[in-house]
Structure 1
Amino acid sequence: MPATSRSATILEVARDAGVSKTSVSRYYSGERERLSTGMQQRIAHAAERLGYQPNPMARGLKGGPSGLVGMLVADIRNPFSVAVMHGVEQACRRQGLSLMVCNTDNDPTLERQNLALLTSYRIEGLIVNAAGRHGEALAELAGNGLPLVLLDRSLEGIDADEVGLDNDRAIDMALDHLIERGYRRVLFVTELPARASSRQARMARFESSSMSRQLEGEVLSLELNDTAGLDRGLSAFLDAATQQPTAILCGNGQVTLAVIRALQARRVPLGEIGLMGIDELDWCQLVTPGITTLAQPTDAIGQAAVDRLRARQAERTTPEPRHERFTPTLIIRDSTRRPGIDAPHCDETRP
């Protein structure tokens, strides 16, 4: 039966799947594991055929599980946030959940208001990809039993599951690649690290790993909109009297874009001056000569965040928080291909 403009009911899904209304309710209320695999598949196929969409608000009003997962995001314009949000939403949809996203815009007042809003909707779990200035509020939510997952963040005083990139591994992969291409002097450009633990971790690893690899490593940290500061920092690094092959490593996708704009304004040829970024964005392969990146597995990270929430819901005890880290994929393009160096051309991918 094709979907119509009228929403199908839970009873119609039950009849189409040949199961009871209670079974369909269990499928969409966090008790899916009580149903056989075959029954789950029949319900999923029937719901898809009929165009059935569960109503999380109605479920919450009845006193049952709301089916809502909250997500707090620091900056919804950040490409990483958008990509990982897609992974979270896909994972929620597969499990019959609905995602409610609030953007804080790095505003402490808005962050506090959004936390209150999300909890007022009786969310079943909260995924946090924000600065977390209100650690006390988050700690209180976790202490009251709300499943909480920190995404690409660690927050002092909060014992919660964490999911994100293996930052140490990412920096090591980047430096090993640059060394392989013959670069011996590297500038790491990052947003100010104080607001995000992931930035702190990447910068600390860069400083220690560049030293252990005997690279000339320097760090430039600044506000993303400080174009004058970025230009001054790049000028000081690029104009220094040195014969060492030089490269720039960008701490995230937004930094990569800002650095490319600054280099283009200076007419700096990429490749001769190496450029590499953490985060794979659609335009990285389009910018001449193609930008070498470390791609985060954002769909897998989003899935893991939802899985941790569901696992916490099912647990009757409070075991130690679990920290799950993911390895990026190295996508090699010609922005790190030095002239005269025998190396593969663009779009070589390495796990």
Structure 2
Amino acid sequence: MSTIKDVAALAGVSFTTVSHVLNETRPVSADARRRVLAAVEEIGYLPSAVARSLRKSETKIVGVLVPNVQNPFFAELVCGVEESCRLAGYSVFLCNSDNDPKRQQQYMRTLLEKRVDGLLLSSAGDDEALARIFKLASVPSVTVDRLVPGARADRVSVHNQQGAYNAVRHLIELGHRRVACISGPAEFEVARERIEGWRRALQEAGISPDASWVIESDFSSPGGYDAARRLLMAQAKPEHGAAAPFTGIFASNDMMAIGALRAAAELGLRVPQQLSVVGFDDIELSRYVFPALTSVGCSIKELGHEAGRVLIERIENPGAALKDVLLTPRLVVRESTAAPDAALLAP
């Protein structure tokens, strides 16, 4: 592998001159610059990024840590982050914790040891451990959707409660009275906020849901499938015979809603004629399942783009006041919701 001294020998200059040309740290004559660049091209010299980062106290790298790259939400999010950072001259190191808090901590430590210039985190849980790591690190940070208590970090998120409220309000305006909720894990703030939006919409309509209307799952399609089957099959049991069936399901993310669509099909329920399903996030895939999924959310790529932008701003202005950017979700009505069959509304 060629070295800076090889470039200097070929160009007929000192290696410090080569360094000044490559790092633009001091004016160099046009002739010397031309010879250095020609030598670099001829021998294929690549400057050491590690050495440059030590000199400049920056790596031009940001770490992005997400809980599940198999979930299309995070894939779309990372695309937005990467685009925003790339345009600002930064590269992205992506780490997938696979919903494992211990792996998340390990990746956090690794990224900090690599001296990344910034850190963007979508948490997989264990907020106390994360908060301890954040206290040890002074790296500029942004969290997406999930608050890490005690962390000095900007946050970019969607208005989860309002989005859930809008989704359920849509079902109520169609005439639905029994709307079940497939929730994410209660340990996550985002899941609790979406349950609260579901509950608020029902209560404002004079509907008092009981605990059996909510079932907790894991934000995955298999989890949504299992939860929907349990909800829909439970109401068919004799002890539930007096109750009208659920005519709507609000799933706290699109992946669980897609699982619910599969469960409904297997149970012989026609969507939306016999059961309406609405999700949250509006991932790209929601437009291409059948029936196309009604969902609430904002452009996930734009969410990632905004998070990347906020992180770059934090890197370049570390002393600025912390930001809490809240994006407004919109309802996108597709084929999975409609007015319920009048026969299903009988008490």
TM bracket, shorter-chain basis: 0.7 to 0.9
Equivalent runs, 1:43-122 vs 2, <5 Å: 57=50, 59-122=52-115
Q: Quote the Cα distance in structure 2 between the aligned partners of 1:229 and 1:292.
A: 19
Partner of 2:31: none
Q: Which amino acid aligns with 1:233?
A: L
**How far 1:120 sits from its partner (Å)?**
1.8
Quick check: 1:203 aligned with 2:195? Answer: yes
**How far 1:268 sits from its partner (Å)?**
0.7
Partner of 1:251: 252
Partner of 1:232: 230
**How far 1:106 sits from its partner (Å)?**
1.7
Q: Which amino acid aligns with 1:235?
A: M
**How far 1:334 sits from its partner (Å)?**
2.2
Equivalent runs, 1:187-226 vs 2, <5 Å: 187-194=180-187, 196-217=188-209, 218-223=213-218, 224=220, 225=222
Distance 1:122-1:316 versus aligned 2 partners, 3 A rule: closer
On the 8 A contact 1:69/1:98 being kept in 2, the answer is yes
Q: Which segments of 5 or more consecutive residues in structure 1 lack a partner in the other structure?
A: 1-20, 27-52, 342-351
**How far 1:59 sits from its partner (Å)?**
3.4
Residue 150 of structure 1, aligned match among 127, 143, 155: 143
On the 8 A contact 2:161/2:197 being kept in 1, the answer is yes
On the 8 A contact 1:165/1:326 being kept in 2, the answer is yes
Partner of 2:272: 271
Using the size of structure 1 for normalisation, the TM-score is 0.74
* CA deviation map 1:113-160 (0-9, x unaligned): 211211122111111112242644544435642111111101223242
On the 8 A contact 2:85/2:312 being kept in 1, the answer is no
Residue 294 of structure 2, aligned match among 268, 273, 292: 292
* CA deviation map 1:21-64 (0-9, x unaligned): 999969xxxxxxxxxxxxxxxxxxxxxxxxxx998555324443
Secondary structure in 2 matching 1:289: coil
Secondary structure in 1 matching 2:195: helix
Distance 1:111-1:286 versus aligned 2 partners, 3 A rule: closer
Rg larger for? 2
Q: Quote the Cα distance in structure 2 between the aligned partners of 1:178 and 1:303.
A: 31
**How far 1:245 sits from its partner (Å)?**
7.3
Q: Which amino acid aligns with 2:191?
A: R
**How far 1:307 sits from its partner (Å)?**
2.3
On the 8 A contact 2:60/2:116 being kept in 1, the answer is yes
Distance 1:316-1:255 versus aligned 2 partners, 3 A rule: closer
Q: Quote the Cα distance in structure 2 between the aligned partners of 1:106 and 1:197.
A: 15
Equivalent runs, 1:176-195 vs 2, <5 Å: 176-194=169-187
CA RMSD of aligned residues (A): 3.0
Quick check: 1:326 aligned with 2:327? Answer: yes
Distance 1:237-1:187 versus aligned 2 partners, 3 A rule: farther
**How far 1:289 sits from its partner (Å)?**
3.0
Distance 1:22-1:134 versus aligned 2 partners, 3 A rule: farther
Task: State the number of aligned residues.
Answer: 293
Secondary structure in 1 matching 2:290: coil
Give the % identical residues: 26
On the 8 A contact 2:61/2:92 being kept in 1, the answer is yes
**How far 1:99 sits from its partner (Å)?**
0.6
**Stretch deviating more after TM superposition (154-163 or 69-78):** 154-163
Q: Quote the Cα distance in structure 2 between the aligned partners of 1:63 and 1:128.
A: 25
On the 8 A contact 2:180/2:246 being kept in 1, the answer is no
Q: Which segments of 5 or more consecutive residues in structure 2 lack a partner in the other structure?
A: 1-18, 25-45, 343-347
On the 8 A contact 1:191/1:199 being kept in 2, the answer is yes
Q: Quote the Cα distance in structure 1 between the aligned partners of 2:266 and 2:318.
A: 58
Q: Quote the Cα distance in structure 2 between the aligned partners of 1:105 and 1:283.
A: 21
